[in-house]
Chain A
């Protein structure tokens, strides 16, 4: 056993993190910087006055709950994959996709409610920022859903299991990140109205 390892493995690599996983984290850093820029622009602009005050659509609370739930199902999928419980993986991934789409639909209802309240994309930057935050987060969430669908297809082809965990692990990380990003934006908007 040990002999096998000596032949195939190159020893002494200074750091041994999986490059693709590492690259995903770097990608997440760029998204963090993007939203950091937007939220700080929001604060700077708000400080200058002439700011339209409005309350957030109540459906955003429900959406937040749905997205948090999808994080739970995604984690369930990942844990099941680690245990080679492929049936549960498929169910959990499918549920995550449904919840993800449900969140997006909820966000669109949220936009409807904003329009009903007289908050438009074109107008006071206060409202424009609202649509930018939710819209851009939505775009990233769509990329996350596409990623989950790719993982679902791989699962159906039996390419996701405890010995081949990288794909679903990265998907899981990305999805949790998108979830956390929304929570950050939501709390930010609640605190900085």
Chain B
């Protein structure tokens, strides 16, 4: 009887071994295998990145070359190109809005977290799959549904949502306000609700899997930093996205049912609207309670990926492993108490403002700890410049540059000048956008061999890196100057104002740099898709890395390890350990096999290892 009961429990932990034949549909489309779902997220994310990137080129053309005729875009945009061959101003706003929405939510949340949390969590903690493969599948298909709704909204007659990605009411709440606030906004809201459902399903799964399905010996202090980052990202998402649901729900009621949560005393064409008693600031509070953690949802996975890649390719243990975890946790906690620094100019009480200034500056501390640890890990390492490593170092560079400008913006007094200018645009594109994007690309280069069993071409990777790195700095560095000069973001035209005429050449430069950066991404796309089919076959452990995923077969089946799941005996950063035969010792090598490099306390723990294998039950008790 007891045996039977435990079998039930085992089934829930592992599922069966999945060696039955699968049809095409269950293997590639409605797959419950975390690796396939990760690839689905990645491909969809790349599609959206391409869309979002091309949109930015369209509005960069308008900003950089306001006199140029865009007649040649008429076959694509049709009526959105005006009679005189210019971009329609409302369409410009729609492009800006969709660029932001797509990049933040669809690329850097779903594309980044969805891909790497799904792919790496089971492989790095030693699990057969996610806690619930079905929920995981649902998570992707809700994302897909959300993508479809958002994509269709690009093609409707009144245009997609145009009120900025932050959808502040009353602009977003009143269909009369602008053409994009009609059907386009409704579809935006529907798409986001599906998106949040997807994120919740994914997040619940990631946390459950990390906490409950780790392999034997994989304690929290032996988890790779990637997994720590994914765990905290999912926690952030789980706590902050419901608040966006609340905000969006109230907005939907305001839009469609006539309530007045956000609307008050509004006159349109001299006619007063019936709404009274609402507060648009309320929306901003609710929105930024999600919105600020969201930027950490975007950057934390990239930081986790970078920790792993920098340590592996410096052939050194990560500097300050516990400090890295501590700073991740600190960032997670602090990210919930700084949201109002987005709202300094809403007429907030200056005392309240100064509290948020202080809390915002405190976030600089754990962020600086991370940067310091990256640099000290690199310091005197045997650095191997793989494309993944270059992109990781690029991320650290962006994180420093963008972090410094964050201190300007976090200051309530300076923010009065800088708020809603291109300085803000430059700041978050570097620290969050480009840095997270580099983390994502670094992850793709690093784990491509595990995903597809083949290597990406390194030389094309180098070209991709240098063009992107130089290109991104050329785009966003000049923007700081434009911003300090006071030019507001989201404006259609620079040349309408005498004060800003002098920046036309700087804007032209930015646009040219943006085109070069985008061109580099096509090199990556070619490299990615070509290598899936024609790349060099990957060896078992191409980067000589310690983590568990490289102990799985080169092309793992559903279930990841054909035999038993490996047991973990050490932390993941035993690189260049003095005395060791090789410069890396994977996590599944027991201390009893590495007597030449063990520290005294590690030699002590050999006794426990034998114990571990022979007497199952006693160990189980001690662990609990």
Which A residues contact B (CB, under 8 angstroms)? 1-2, 4-6, 8-20, 22-23, 26-27, 29-31, 33-34, 36-38, 41, 44-45, 48, 50-52, 121-126, 128, 132, 136, 163-164
- Contact, CB under 8 Å: A4 / B211: no
A50-B276 in contact given A11-B616, A23-B132, A121-B259 (Cβ < 8 Å): yes
Given contact pairs A10-B13, A10-B216, A15-B212, A125 touches B242 in the complex (Cβ within 8 A)? no
Q: Which residues of A contact B238 (CB under 8 A)?
A: 26, 29-30, 33
Does B285 sit at the interface, judged by CB under 8 A? yes
> Does A8 lie within 8 Å of B6, measured CB to CB?
yes
Residue of B nearest to A122 (CB): B258
**Contact between A19 and B216 (Cβ–Cβ < 8 Å)?**
no
Known: A12-B612, A13-B620. A34 touches B243 (CB 8 A): yes
- Chain A contacts for B257, CB-based, 8 A: 121-122
Chain B, 125-146, contact with A by CB distance < 8 Å: what is the 0/1 string? 0000001100100000000000
Q: Across the two chains, which residue of chain B brings its CB closest to A129?
A: B261
The residue in chain A whose Cβ has the minimal distance to the Cβ of B200 is A30
Contacts of A52 in B (CB 8 A): 277
Least CB distance, B508 to chain A, in whole angstroms: 44
Q: How far is the CB of B66 from chain A (nearest CB, A)?
A: 42
Q: How far is the CA of A27 from the CA of B218 in the complex (A)?
A: 25
Is there contact, CB below 8 Å, between B242 and A34? yes
Give the complex CA separation of A41 and B288 in angstroms.
13
Q: Are B250 and A22 in contact (CB under 8 A)?
A: no
Q: Choose from B3, B212, B253 the contact partner of A8 (Cβ within 8 Å).
A: B3
Please judge, given known A-B contacts A8-B6, A44-B282, A125-B260, whether A16 and B624 are in contact too, CB under 8 Å: yes
Please count the residue pairs between chain A and chain B whose beta carbons lie under 8 angstroms apart in the complex: 163
Q: Is the CB of B247 within 8 A of A37?
A: yes
Which candidate, B44-52, B201-209, B495-503, B515-523, is the interface stretch facing chain A?
B201-209
What A residues does B76 contact at CB under 8 A? none
Give CA–CA (A132, B5) in the complex, Å. Answer: 44
Residues of chain A within 8 A (CB-CB) of B616 are 5-6, 9-12
CA A31 to CA B320, docked complex, whole Å: 36
- B273-304, CB < 8 A from A: 276-279, 282, 285-286, 289
Is B416's CB within 8 Å of the partner chain A? no
| Cβ–Cβ < 8 Å partners of B253 in chain A | 128, 132
Q: Give 14 A-B pairs besides A44-B279, A122-B259 with Cβ atoms closer than 8 angstroms.
A: A4-B2, A5-B2, A6-B616, A11-B616, A12-B623, A16-B620, A18-B212, A19-B131, A30-B204, A36-B243, A41-B282, A124-B276, A125-B279, A136-B249
A-B contact pairs, 5 of them (CB 8 A): A6-B615, A8-B7, A16-B624, A29-B239, A34-B245
- Asked whether any CB of chain A lies closer than 8 Å to the CB of B220, the reply is yes
Contact of B617 among A5, A27, A48, A121 (CB under 8 A): A5
Query: How far does the Cβ of A30 sit from chain B's closest Cβ, in whole Å?
Result: 5
* Min CB–CB distance B536 → chain A (angstroms): 37
B556 to chain A, nearest CB (A): 19
- Pair B246/A14 contact, Cβ less than 8 Å: no
Are A37 and B617 within 8 A (Cβ)?
no
Given the contacts A26-B238, A37-B286, A50 and B3 also touching, CB distance less than 8 Å: no
The residues of A that contact B13 with a CB separation of less than 8 Å are 10, 13, 19
Q: Are B285 and A20 in contact (CB under 8 A)?
A: no
Asked if A26 and B286 make an inter-chain contact with CB atoms under 8 angstroms apart, the answer reads no
Binding site for A on B (CB under 8 A): 2-3, 5-10, 12-13, 131-132, 135, 200, 203-205, 207-209, 211-220, 238-243, 245-247, 249-250, 253, 257-261, 276-279, 282, 285-286, 289, 567, 612, 615-617, 619-620, 623-624
Taking CB atoms, residues of chain A closer than 8 Å to B2 are 1, 4-5
Of the listed residues B7, B8, B9, B259, the one surrounded by the most CB atoms of chain A closer than 10 A to its CB is B259
Known: A1-B2, A4-B2, A34-B245. A123 touches B216 (CB 8 A): no
- Name the CB-closest residue of B to A39: B246
User: Which 3 A-B residue pairs are closest in the complex by CB-CB distance?
Assistant: A11-B616, A37-B246, A33-B242
Closest residue of B by beta carbon distance from A52: B277
A134–B203 alpha-carbon span in the complex (Å)? 27
Given contacts A13-B214, A37-B286, A37-B289, contact A125 B617 (CB under 8 A): no
Q: Which of A29, A37, A38 has the most CB of B within 10 A?
A: A37
Docked-complex contact A20 and B623, CB < 8 angstroms: no
Smallest CB gap from A50: residue in B: B277
* Residues in B whose Cβ lies below 8 Å from that of A33: 238-240, 242-243
CA distance A46 to B258 in the complex (A): 19
Contact between chains at B260 and A14 (CB < 8 Å): no
CA distance A45 to B250 in the complex (A): 13
Q: Which residues of A contact B245 (CB under 8 A)?
A: 34, 37
CB distance from B295 to the nearest CB of A (A): 18
Say how far B254's CB is from chain A's closest CB, in angstroms.
9
Is B204 in contact with A12, judged by CB distance below 8 angstroms? no
Instruction: Give CA–CA (A29, B242) in the complex, Å.
Output: 9
Determine the distance from Cα of A45 to Cα of B8 in the docked complex, in whole angstroms.
51
Q: A136's closest neighbor in chain B, by CB?
A: B249
* Minimum C-beta distance from A186 to chain B (A): 19
A14 touches B259 (CB 8 A): no
Point out the residues of chain B lying under 8 angstroms from A36, CB to CB.
243
Q: How far is the CA of A82 from the CA of B23 in the complex (A)?
A: 41
Interface pair A6/B260, CB less than 8 Å apart: no
A27 touches B6 (CB 8 A): no
Question: Which residues on B sit within 8 Å (CB–CB) of A26?
Answer: 203-204, 207-208, 238
Query: Which residues on the A side are within 8 Å of B260 (C-beta)?
Result: 122-125, 128
Which B residues lie within 8 Å of A124 (CB)? 260, 276-277
From A12, A20, A123, B620 is in contact (CB under 8 Å) with A12
Can you name the residue of chain B whose Cβ is closest to the Cβ of A4? B3
CA distance A23 to B130 in the complex (A): 12
Distance in Å from the Cβ of B593 to the closest Cβ of chain A?
Answer: 19
Docked-complex contact A125 and B259, CB < 8 angstroms: yes
The reply to whether A19 and B200 contact each other, CB–CB distance below 8 Å, is: no
Within the complex, the shortest CB–CB distance from A100 to chain B, in Å, comes to 23
* Chain A residues with CB below 8 A from B7, complex form: 8
Report yes or no: B208 in contact with A19, Cβ–Cβ below 8 A.
yes
Chain A residues contacting B135 (CB-CB under 8 Å) are: 23
Q: Which of A13, A27, A31 contacts B623 (CB 8 A)?
A: A13
B258 contact set on A, CB distance < 8 A: 122
B58 to chain A, nearest CB (A): 36
Complex-state Cα separation, A183 to B219, whole angstroms: 39
Contacts of A10 in B (CB 8 A): 10, 13, 216, 616
Bound: A125/B250 CA distance, A: 10
Chain B residue contacts of A2, Cβ below 8 A: 617
Q: How far is the CA of A1 from the CA of B617 in the complex (A)?
A: 12
Q: Measured between alpha carbons, how far is A168 from B12 in the docked complex, in Å? A: 17
Q: Contacts A11-B216, A19-B12, A26-B238; is A128 near B259 (CB within 8 Å)?
A: yes
Cα–Cα distance between A17 and B12 once the two chains are bound (Å):
11
Q: Which B residues touch A16, using CB under 8 A?
A: 212, 620, 624
Chain B CB within 10 Å, residue with most, of A9, A132, A164: A9
